[in-house]
Structures are given as C-alpha cells and as structure tokens.
Structure 1
Amino acid sequence: MLLAGGAYAQSPADSARLDALQREIAAQTERLEGLKRLLAEQEGELDRLRGALDEQRLDTTRAKGREAARSDALTQVPLANVTLAQSVLPESAVAQAAPTQDPMPPAPEPQPDPAVAQQPVGRAPESDTRPPEIAQIFEQPGVLTPPGKFVLEPSLEFDYSANGRVALVGFTIIPAILIGLIDVRQIKATTAIATLTGRYGVSKRFELEAQVPYVYSYTDTISREIFTGTAVDNVFESSGHGLGDIELTARYQINQGGPDRPFWVGWLRYKSRTGKDLFEVVTDCVTRCVANATGTGLPLELPTGSGFESLQPGVTWLYPSDPVVFFGSFSYLHNFERSDVSRTVLGGVEEPIGDVKAGDIIGFNLGMGLALNEKAAISLGYDQSTVGRTQQNGEDAPGSVRVVLGTLLLGGSYRFNDRVSLNVALGVGVTRDTPDMTLTARVPISF
C-alpha cells in the first residue's frame, strides 16, 4: 500500500512533464511549419533567379562579344541561395526539432568564384534589357548605345551601277528633267561615300545620332543626241564630290524584350539638303533644255545631295530565338516639296521648272544573324524600297514611274576588343533599278 501510495503521489509530476513535452512538440511543429514556408519562398526565389539567368545566357550566346566563361560562372551564383533556409535558423532550433536523432553535419558552404561579383541575397542579378547585337547590314542599327556612352563610327561605302536609272542612297535623278531630250542607252555610275557617324546614349532606351557624309561620284553615260542624224553612241563623262546631306536620327526602345520575346525600337530620321543638288549644277543645254535639240541634257557636274528635305519614321524589331536573332524594319520616307525650282543651263541661264516633289519611299527589310563565337558573327538579309512617282506642278511628271529597289545583303562583324569592332556588308541588286553592287565597311569605336 505504501508503494502504491508513492506511485500515486508521483503521477501529478509525470502529468506535468507530459504537458511540457506536448507544449514543446507543438512549438517544434510550429517551427517546422515556418521552415516549410521559408523553403517554399526560397524555391520561388530560386526559380526567379534562374529565369533572370536565362536572359543572361541568351545575351552571351549572341554576338555581344562577352566571354562565354563569364556566363558559366554566373550560373553558380544562385546555387548558393539553396542553403539560405538552413542558414537563417540557429542550430539549436534544428536540434530541438529532432531530439532523439543525431544532428546532421552542416553542409559545406559553396565557395563562390572570385571572378564573379557576389549578388545581394534575395535579389535577382540585373538582366540586360538591351537588344542583342548583330552584324549590321542595314543602314539603321538595331542595338542602342548604352547610357552615357559615345560611339564614333567612320564608314566607307562603294556603289557600282550599270543601268538606265540611278538611285543611290537618297540620290535620285528626276526623269522629268531629261525625258524627250536624250536617248540614254546605259549609265555606268561609281559612287564612294565616306561617312562619319556619332551616336550618344541618352538613357537605357534612348539615343541620338548624327551623320555627316562626303560623296565622290563618277558616271559614264552612253547616249546620243536627238535630231543629230547619227547612229553612233557617244560617251559623256561627269563627276562630282563634296559634302552630302547631313542626317539626324533619334531612336527609342519601346519595350523590354527577351528570349522568344521581340524587341521594338522606334526611330525618326531627318535628312537635310546640305549637299549640292541636281538643280544647282550646270546642265548641258544651250539656252534651255525643254524643246531644244542642242546639247545632251545631262548635268556637267554630278550632285552630292538629293535636293529635297525629308522625314522618315520607322520601327525596327529584333526577335531572339536561340541560336539566331531575326530582325527587320518598316519605314516611310516623306520628301518635302520645293517651290519655284529652276535649273542652270550653259551660259548661266536659269530655266524655270516650277514646283517639284520627289516621290515618297516605302521601305522594309528583314534578316537573320548568327554568332559564330564570342567575337565573330554573320548576318543575311533583304532590303526593299518602293519609290513613288515624281510630281511637277501638282501632277505626275511626264515619264516618271514607280521604282522598286531590292538588295540582297550579306555581312559579318568581328570584335577586336571591348571598344573597337569591324562590320562589313555586301549588297547585290536584285532589280534593274538597284545598284549592282554595294560594299560597306564600318568601324564603330566606343568611348
């Protein structure tokens, strides 16, 4: 009975210990639930970090000239966050959660690559929101200049054409001025354009550009004068050189693209008429060209400008799709009308022509670029422009027709270092009115 009484006396203490154990188990259960929630949050953060790294990997596989090893090293950064949930709780709490088992030895912390800048915990690495760079083959580049950076780009363009009509980079010989005066058999034109281009990145999505061209052109015209009674073709030579039409362009990146999401860049270009135009050079006519059989009707000096101010809005798109980048643009060029235009003939006589408006131009192009390695890339594309009819005194000029200019382009780029690269593009005309061959070399230099 004494033993039974002693056991009965100890039962309240045992009950208290059981209650304490139950409270401790409930507390540990609550801690475990907190750990589960924290782990779930860290898994979501890890998925977000992986998505950001996908954009960086895509940026590295393009022709942006970054080291491929840097992309591999960057993939190690988010893996260090896997142990974040283990590091936020003390070891004593983990030991209390499982008092009957031996504690697990702590996992060794991964050693980050010293070449890679450590990212703050819980923050995704900043992804590059700029479009991927490609080998430039069109006149309008796709990638914008980084903010605060300046790019100086000297370039040289060489064009050769053997056609009855010449249209070279904004230069147009208006048919209405020559129709009825000569019978042109063929025109062999050679043009070299040296251009100095400057681009400045105002912000991450906005840049300004200015172009100053210097033009040299040489033309051999195989023709004969009318009403001369001869069947022999004559060769008329003419040349011209000087400042071309200065251009100003503003570009703005409309959206933030990425892998399998297109980039859209809108731009607006203004072309002046600083170059000498067709109305300023002396034309080979005696007294007048209209209804006059004397002279060839050809300019004795070639113009270096189009003679018309123009405004050209457009939009460029780039679509990254590993391992290539598709790109293209749409544009519309409007030429402003000139009033009371006169042309100079032999003897310094001014012959009035009236109001003249060059035809507007609708253009589009498309292509694809492929990075061969971290320094070299190639591009292939097609460019087409449709030139409207020239108007004289509010009506279509006699003999003026719509012209389609189509060019097949192949280009490549090579990055020498972080500041200097080389772009070369070859264009082949696929329509009769397009220059037979266009070769362009650009050397962008970053500051």
Structure 2
Amino acid sequence: MNALQVEQEQSKKRIQTLEARIQALEAQGITSGGPLPDSETAAMRGRGVGQAPPGAEPAVGTEQASVENEEADRKTPAPTEVVEAVTQAEQGHFGEHINIEPGITYSHFSNAALNLSGFLALDAIFLGLISIDEVQADVLTYDLTARMGLTPRIQADVNIPYIFRRSNFRSGGAGGNASGLAERTITEHGLSDVSLGLSYHLFRETASRPDLVINGRVKAPTGESPFGAELVVVPGTQGNLKVPSKLSTGSGVWGASIGASLLKTIDPMVVFGSLTYFRNFKRSFGDLDEAPGDQSGRADLGDAIQYGIGVAYALNDRSSLSMSLTQRFVKHARLLLNPPEGQESAGWQSVVGSQANIGVLNVGATFSLNPKLTLLFNLGAGLTDDASDMVVSVRLPYQF
C-alpha cells in the first residue's frame, strides 16, 4: 500500500513538472509555432495531459492555432505605415472615419502651329500669308477632397477645385510682315467642376488575390463653360492672331465615371492598376460657337476610357517611390446647331481635332509623416501631343 502511494506521488510530480514545462513553452511562444517533441507529446497523452474532456472549451494553444490558420492567407508581415499610405492613396480610406485632403497641382502646356492662308502657284511657290502661332498655358488648381467611411467597405467623397489659368498667345508673321510678332495674355480664375464619388471595397487583399475596389463618380458643371467664347482679333495682326474672349474653368456639361482599381502588395513593392470609363451627357447652350452673335444648339463632348498601371517601392517604413503610366483616349466632340427658322438641321457634326490621346508618365514619392498625416508628391511628364508638358502636384491627406 505504501509503495502504491509513493508511485502515485511520483506520477503526480511528473505531471506537475510536465505542466510547468508546457506553461513555460507557451510563454516563450514555442507551442504556437509548432508541436512539442514527439517524446514529450506521447508522455503527456499517456497521462491525459492536454486532452480536454468531452464538451469542454478548446485549449488556449488550439484556439490560437485556429486563429493563425484563419489569418494564414492574409498579408504577412503586417503592412508598414508607408505601404498603408500607398494603399490609401490608390484605393481610398476605408473605415468609419473622416479624411481631409488638400492639394495643389500645377500644369504647363505648350503648342505651336504653322498656319497658311493662300495657295500654291506652279505646285512649288506659296502665295499668301504665313503665320506661326504658339500657345503656352499654365494652370494652377487648388482643391479640397473630403472622404467619409460610411462602413468598413463603403466610402463617400466630395472634391471641390478652384482654378487659376493663364494663357499666352503668340503669332509670327503678324500683319503680313515676316518678322512681325504679336502677343496677348489672358487670365481667368474661378470654381471648377465639383464632383461626388462613392467607392466599394469588393475584395480585400490576401496572399492569393489582389485588393479590388469599384468606384463611381458624378461631376456637376459648376465651372465656367468653354462654349460661346468669341474669338477676338488682336489689333495690328490683320487677322493672323485671334484669342478667346474668356477662358473656361470647367467642361460645361454633366459627367459620370465608373471604374475599378486593383492593388497587390509584394513586399517591399506595391503593384497597382485601374480602368475607368468617362461619360459626358448632352446639354443645350444658348451659344455654342466662337463667331459673333448667339448660335444655340446642343453639345455632346466625347466619352473617354482611361487605364493606369504602376508600382511603388518602399524605401523604409515611412517613405516610398512610385512610377506609373496613365493614358486616356477621348472620342470626338459633336455639336448640333439649331438651324434658322424654316430650314432643316444639318444634324450632329464632329468637331475637327477634338479627339485626344493623353498619355502621362508619373514619378511620385510618399512620405508617412505620422500615423494620421501623409505627404504625396507627383511629377508627370506628357508622352503625347495632347498631354500637358509637365504636371506637379502635392497633396496632404489627414485622417481624423
């Protein structure tokens, strides 16, 4: 009897020793990373250690392993501040919070054209007026974007832009003089087109699939319309140089867009892309053309489709560099002029030269100043004739 009691006491001490060792291993995080050695596992099972009775709650180690298996398909390791900043810049700020993003953008555009007004004699000699026209435009845009997370997957935003425009028109050969030069500068400023947007986080990024966000936007014609601006002849140029009487600050029509954007984190890189379709709606105007007098009718600006691809590379936890390409294809604009009373309409007419191919190469940098404030810098260079020569923008999104 004494021998049996001694053996039971020894077994009890061994069980207590093994339980103490298990607790020590769990404290060091070893059990969560893998199984115990086979000899110790077999010994514990033989003594009933670590086995829960029927109906009991699972052990802590089992519950933790289940959570880990559930999260195994998500991004690992946890994204750094700059990766989060890049993701928010490309996909939006989802979650039930408010984000305010002031920004400033400067763009420069230049174009030169050779104008001939006359005819060829003997298929070799040009008789008439020759002028070289050059246009240089600078646009400074201040805008404020406010975003609100309605749910963890839905975000609404509003963008309010204010534009300052300066256009310089030059003409060589003014007044029939080969060395004659004429110049006129026009400035304009005002509210541009305000837009409202809604984004839905369809799929969250995992190890096997990218982040997917679909978005829609409506644009209101709150800016100054480009239609009805008469062309004014600059004195002393004999008609060689004509400049608009005013500059527009908006499109003049209602518009909408729908698109999708993808993003995949491949540490330390973030790869992203987007595809967007732009729709402009027909609208009536009291004056459409640039000739003196009012010519009423309807305008149908060309729809457009745009794609973008890019990659961002994290330099450290708080800064990254990015490079992207965006290209937009714009269809012809059309005009429907109201005919004089008693005459038939000529129907919709395409505006020559209104189609566009706008390609821009962007180089950017992202700096996470703190968990709530980010600095975004972008430099764009036009790759096609229809694109701006240079675009520089700075944005400061702040999350409340």
When the two structures are superposed, what TM-score results if normalisation uses the length of structure 1? 0.64
Query: Is the 2:214–2:261 contact (alpha carbons within 8 Å) kept by the matching residues of 1?
Result: yes
Select the structure of larger CA radius of gyration: 1
SS at match of 1:142: helix
Match of residue 407 from structure 1: 360
Match of residue 123 from structure 1: none
1:302 aligns with 2:247: yes
RMSD of Structure 2 on Structure 1 (CA): 3.3
Once the 2 structures are TM-superposed, how far is the Cα of residue 350 of structure 1 from its aligned partner?
A: 3.5
Shift in alpha-carbon separation, 1:340–1:240, aligned structure 2, 3 A: closer
Shift in alpha-carbon separation, 1:164–1:258, aligned structure 2, 3 A: farther
Match of residue 438 from structure 1: 391
SS at match of 1:274: coil
Q: Which structure exhibits the higher relative contact order, with contacts defined as CA atoms closer than 8 Å and separated by 6 or more residues?
A: 1
- Of Structure 1 and Structure 2, which has the larger fraction of its residues in strand? 2
Match of residue 392 from structure 1: 335
Match of residue 329 from structure 1: 274
Match of residue 416 from structure 1: 369
Once the 2 structures are TM-superposed, how far is the Cα of residue 54 of structure 1 from its aligned partner?
A: 7.0
Once the 2 structures are TM-superposed, how far is the Cα of residue 31 of structure 1 from its aligned partner?
A: 4.7
Shift in alpha-carbon separation, 1:45–1:345, aligned structure 2, 3 A: closer
Once the 2 structures are TM-superposed, how far is the Cα of residue 282 of structure 1 from its aligned partner?
A: 4.8
Distance in 2 of aligned mates of 1:356 and 1:184: 30
Match of residue 212 from structure 1: 160
Match of residue 82 from structure 2: 63
Query: Is the 2:170–2:241 contact (alpha carbons within 8 Å) kept by the matching residues of 1?
Result: no
The size of the alignment, in residue pairs, is 324
State how 1:6-405 maps to structure 2 within 5 Å. Answer: 31=48, 34=51, 46=65, 48-49=67-68, 52=71, 55=74, 57-61=76-80, 63-64=82-83, 132-134=84-86, 141-164=89-112, 185-223=133-171, 229-231=176-178, 232-279=180-227, 281-284=229-232, 296-343=241-288, 350-393=293-336, 394-405=347-358
Match of residue 9 from structure 2: none
Shift in alpha-carbon separation, 1:313–1:270, aligned structure 2, 3 A: same
For residues 340-384 of structure 1, give each alpha carbon's deviation from its aligned partner in whole angstroms, at most 9, with x where no partner exists: 4405879xx632052221111110000011222221112110010
Distance in 1 of aligned mates of 2:298 and 2:177: 35
Distance in 1 of aligned mates of 2:348 and 2:248: 25
Q: Which runs of 5+ in 2 are unaligned?
A: 1-44, 114-129, 337-346
For residues 362-412 of structure 1, give each alpha carbon's deviation from its aligned partner in whole angstroms, at most 9, with x where no partner exists: 100000112222211121100100011111225342523531100000111
**Stretches of 4+ aligned residues off by more than 3 angstroms:** 28-45, 53-59, 223-226, 228-233, 280-283, 293-297, 343-346
Shift in alpha-carbon separation, 1:240–1:305, aligned structure 2, 3 A: same
SS at match of 2:86: coil
Query: Is the 2:202–2:214 contact (alpha carbons within 8 Å) kept by the matching residues of 1?
Result: yes
Once the 2 structures are TM-superposed, how far is the Cα of residue 246 of structure 1 from its aligned partner?
A: 0.5
When the two structures are superposed, what TM-score results if normalisation uses the length of structure 2? 0.71
Distance in 2 of aligned mates of 1:401 and 1:280: 16
Q: What letter is aligned with 1:395? A: W
Shift in alpha-carbon separation, 1:375–1:259, aligned structure 2, 3 A: same
